[in-house]
């Protein structure tokens, strides 16, 4: 690619190629995949005009160190190491905001996305053929190396219809994690993004006030090179969460709605355990109630980790145990706030049911605020 910029020529930087494209690689434990991927990107794009932005969420396998090792000898590679924050979507946003390149691509670091598409996507954007270039696993000519997920094909009809409603564009692969657009456009859309579970591409397209022009590229979706997948593919769930977010999300935030729903299910668990212990085991009420509280808290922690914070899920025995303990502690504080508020209101003459409800709401908001900060670390 010839990317000598007229301004660069004036300033004496004529020998260097002007930066045109940032390839954002969100990473979580991708240490061994980085160096070979940078090589493949260079093979696709040539020597210059691009940079790779590795946005690592403090991976335990030392991905950030490996990224810095590469960056030390290759100035086209840059590293953003985030500590205390998690999530693929927010890592992509981090990238949009950290580059001077006029175009940016988001791509998985595990070699499932073929870098050979990068120059084609870039050309399509520069020529105005599309405002967003999307690599699609389902476009004509695409293929997949890894099968074994028949649910995908079946789900995709309904999912695509939903996506069309949301974005106003026809997409063969709305859940694609490989796409490119102008960095300015991306940054303009950022304030309206939800940045959670809901996939970033869909979120960008749905946030734009007018439908964006999409150009699709058939992707040969490879198998992961090494390591393991961090996302599960509950496509349907992501869609529902995304749909909710775009409709009612401004009134009651999606995550809080999920947290509340999980909390309500926790009440059912509580009552079930309580009655089981009271009537079948025959323990004293205090003991039974204590066991029920612990069961409900554990259930809520597990379900929130699995659903509400699926994009920031705690994994590994020590992380899960720490999270669980933190969650129980948080709930204890929330429970205290709950009782305090309810008691106060009831003593002021409020009907007991309303007082209890107010206590529950205050306690839940409290739990939500604390646990989102201290358990799932936002």
Which residues contribute to the site for Mn ion (CB under 5 A)?
108, 110, 112, 224
Residues 275-294 touching ligand GDD, rule: CB under 6 A, are: none
State the Cα–Cα distance between residues 2 and 66, nearest whole angstrom.
Answer: 30
For the CB of residue 204, give the shortest distance to ligand GDD in the complex, in Å: 13
The answer to whether 133 touches 180, Cβ cutoff 8 Å, is yes
The answer to whether 80 touches 54, Cβ cutoff 8 Å, is yes
Decide if residue 177 touches ligand GDD (CB under 6 A).
Answer: yes
20, 51, 57, 203: which one contacts ligand GDD (CB under 6 A)? 57
Task: Name the β-bridge partners of 25.
Answer: 54
- Helix (H) / strand (E) element for 18: namely none
Decide if residue 87 touches ligand GDD (CB under 6 A).
Answer: yes
Residues 218-237 touching ligand GDD, rule: CB under 6 A, are: 229-231, 233
51, 108, 203, 216: which one contacts ligand GDD (CB under 6 A)? 108
Cα radius of gyration (the chain): 24
For the CB of residue 57, give the shortest distance to ligand GDD in the complex, in Å: 4
Nearest to 134 by CA among 87, 174, 95: 174
φ and ψ at 49, to 5 degrees? 90, 0
Tell me how crowded residue 229 is: count the other CB atoms within 10 A of its CB: 12
State the Cα–Cα distance between residues 260 and 275, nearest whole angstrom.
Answer: 23
* Site map 13..52 versus ligand GDD, x via CB under 6 A: -------------xxx-x----------------------
Residues 141-160 touching ligand GDD, rule: CB under 6 A, are: none
For the CB of residue 238, give the shortest distance to ligand GDD in the complex, in Å: 8
State the Cα–Cα distance between residues 19 and 123, nearest whole angstrom.
Answer: 15
**CA angle, residues 360, 87, 249, in degrees to nearest 5:** 45
> CA 99 → CA 79, 85, 94, 260, distances in Å?
11, 20, 9, 38
Residue with smallest beta-carbon separation from ligand GDD = 177
55, 163, 169, 205: which one contacts ligand GDD (CB under 6 A)? 55
Binding partner of 109, given ligand GDD, Mn ion, none, CB within 5-8 angstroms per partner class: ligand GDD
Nearer to ligand GDD, 61 or 283 (CB): 61
For the CB of residue 95, give the shortest distance to ligand GDD in the complex, in Å: 9
State the Cα–Cα distance between residues 12 and 346, nearest whole angstrom.
Answer: 76
Nearer to ligand GDD, 177 or 359 (CB): 177
Binding partner of 233, given ligand GDD, Mn ion, none, CB within 5-8 angstroms per partner class: ligand GDD
Tell me how crowded residue 234 is: count the other CB atoms within 10 A of its CB: 16
Residues 62-81 touching ligand GDD, rule: CB under 6 A, are: none
**CA angle, residues 333, 334, 338, in degrees to nearest 5:** 120
Nearer to ligand GDD, 51 or 57 (CB): 57
- Helix (H) / strand (E) element for 55: namely strand 50-56
Binding partner of 144, given ligand GDD, Mn ion, none, CB within 5-8 angstroms per partner class: none
φ and ψ at 221, to 5 degrees? -75, 110
For the CB of residue 168, give the shortest distance to ligand GDD in the complex, in Å: 20
Decide if residue 249 touches ligand GDD (CB under 6 A).
Answer: no
> CA 368 → CA 68, 70, 111, distances in Å?
36, 40, 37
Binding partner of 86, given ligand GDD, Mn ion, none, CB within 5-8 angstroms per partner class: ligand GDD
For the CB of residue 223, give the shortest distance to Mn ion in the complex, in Å: 9
Would you tell me which residues interact with ligand GDD (CB under 6 A)? 26-28, 30, 55-57, 86-88, 91, 108-110, 112, 175, 177, 199, 229-231, 233
């Amino acid at each position: 690619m010839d990317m000598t910029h007229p301004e660069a020529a004036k300033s004496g930087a004529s020998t260097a190629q002007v930066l045109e494209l940032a390839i954002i690689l969100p990473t979580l434990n991708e240490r061994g995949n980085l160096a070979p991927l940078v090589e493949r990107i260079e093979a696709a794009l040539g020597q210059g005009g691009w940079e790779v932005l590795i946005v690592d969420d403090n991976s335990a396998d030392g991905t950030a160190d490996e990224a810095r090792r590469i960056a030390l000898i290759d100035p086209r590679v840059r590293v953003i190491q985030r500590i205390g924050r998690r999530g693929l979507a927010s890592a992509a946003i981090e990238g949009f905001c950290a580059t001077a390149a006029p175009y940016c691509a988001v791509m998985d670091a595990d070699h499932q996305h073929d870098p050979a598409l990068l120059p084609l996507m870039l050309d399509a954007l520069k020529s105005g053929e599309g405002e967003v270039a999307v690599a699609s696993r389902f476009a004509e000519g695409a293929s997949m190396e890894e099968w074994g997920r028949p649910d995908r094909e079946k789900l995709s009809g309904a999912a695509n219809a939903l996506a069309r409603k949301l974005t106003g564009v026809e997409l063969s692969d709305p859940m694609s994690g490989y796409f490119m657009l102008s960095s300015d456009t991306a940054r303009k859309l950022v304030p309206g993004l939800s940045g959670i579970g809901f996939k970033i591409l869909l979120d960008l397209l749905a946030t734009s006030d007018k439908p964006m022009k999409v150009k699709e590229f058939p992707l040969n979706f490879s198998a992961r090179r090494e390591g393991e997948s961090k996302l599960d593919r509950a496509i349907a769930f992501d869609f529902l969460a995304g749909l909710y977010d775009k409709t009612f999300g401004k009134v009651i935030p999606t995550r809080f709605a999920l947290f509340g729903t999980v909390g309500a299910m926790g009440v059912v668990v509580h009552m079930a355990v309580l009655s089981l212990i009271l009537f079948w085991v025959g323990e004293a009420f205090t003991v039974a109630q204590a066991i029920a509280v612990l069961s409900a808290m554990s259930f809520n922690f597990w379900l929130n980790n699995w659903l509400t914070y699926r994009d920031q899920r705690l994994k590994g025995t020590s992380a899960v145990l720490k999270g669980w303990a933190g969650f129980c502690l948080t709930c204890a504080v929330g429970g205290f706030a709950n009782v305090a508020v309810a008691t106060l209101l009831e003593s002021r003459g409020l009907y007991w049911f309303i007082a209890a409800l107010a206590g529950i709401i205050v306690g839940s908001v409290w739990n939500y605020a604390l646990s989102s900060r201290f358990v799932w670390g936002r």
